Structure formats: C-alpha cells, structure tokens
Amino acid sequence: MKSNDRHGQILVELRKTGAISLEELMERLGASAASIRRDLSKLHNIRNRRNLRVITNAINIAMELCNCEGLQTFVTGGFVQWAGSFSMVGQGAINFLNDIYMDKVFISVCGISLERGVTVIEPEESLTFRAMIHQAKVRIVVADSSKLGMVTPALVCPISEINMLITDSRAPDKSIAPFTERGIEVKRV
C-alpha cells in the first residue's frame, strides 16, 4: 500500500473508532510499525500548517486545534444534542454558518443514496450540515463503504450538491459507479 493510501486508510479507521492502536493499524494496513509512525507524523495534519482557518462544529476538534500556531479555529456555537456527540448543532450554529463562506467542507454521514441523497440520523445535525454545504465551494462527503446506498432519517442534501465522496477501499466498483456517472469524484482510501 502506498503511503498516501495508508494516510487515507488511517483517517478512515480513526474516524470510525475515534482511537486505534499501532498494532491494530499494522494488522489492518499490512505495514510495519516504522511506516505507520511515519504516516502518523505526516498526518499530524493540519497542526503544522500556517495561515489556515478551520471552522468546526465539533468541540473535540476545536480543542485539538486551538493550541496550534498558524491556525485560526472557529467554533460555530449552538448546543450539544446528546452526551458524547461533541457536535454543536441548532440555530446558533446555523446563524454562524450563514455568515461565512468556506473553500471546502468535509461532512461525515450515516448514509448516501442516489435516490434519497446524503443523510444523517439526527434532524438538528442535518440542518447544521446543510448550512455548511450551502456555504462551501467544494462539498466533500466522507462515508465508509457500509454507508453507500443507506438511507437514514434526516436529509442533508441531494447528491447533486456533492462534489466528492471519500470512502474506504472496500467499496466495490458497482457501488461507486452511479456516483461517478453523476459527476461526483470518488476517492477510495
């Protein structure tokens, strides 16, 4: 696996579980401990960038980035809907988002379907994500292969509003073909 592919897969694994051990990454990616450590050092993302503005509705992401020199971290406001979610939603978040423009937005979703669009479970979260989508130049959906074709209760947007789909390497060609046929760039990582 190339290092860029490993980087993407590491991010997918971290997004799924929130935390993962070096041993688990070695097993899942078939890479050595040294390679994984180098990858993690490079992914220490965003922290070393300069003149970057990050806008988030996630308290945990804001906490991670707030001490990084060279980054400006903006938090939307709003309220945390349920314990452990870390995502701020509601009218406060939407009002904040309606007053700014973003170059790129990344949203992690619970389902993406050709017919029903991009969906999440909670209506308040869908409204916040919808505001993000409408204010961004480039709209990127992150969904592992199990979410392809799935529909959950709350609509974020139709797929026609999405520019890119990032999914895992297990996504079969037949699952991603309908998205690429509609002009959505698909990256498997």
Contacts of 5 (CB under 8 A, 6+ apart): 169, 189
Closest C-alpha among 52, 107, 97 to residue 77: 97
pLDDT of residue 114: 95
The rounded distance, in Å, linking the Cα atoms of 164 and 138 is 8
Cα-based distances in Å from 158 to 31, 65, 124, 136, 154: 38, 31, 17, 15, 12
pTM of the model: 0.77
Share of the chain above pLDDT 90, in %: 54
The rounded distance, in Å, linking the Cα atoms of 189 and 175 is 15
Reply yes or no on domain 45-188 having CATH 3.40.50: yes
pLDDT at 164 over 80: yes
pLDDT of residue 99: 96
| Chain mean pLDDT for the chain | 87
Q: If DSSP codes are grouped into helix, strand and coil, which group holds residue 5?
A: helix
pLDDT at 30 over 70: yes
Q: Where are the domains of the chain?
A: 1-44, 45-188
Angle at Cα 4 formed by Cα 57 and Cα 16, nearest 5°? 40
pLDDT at 46 over 90: no
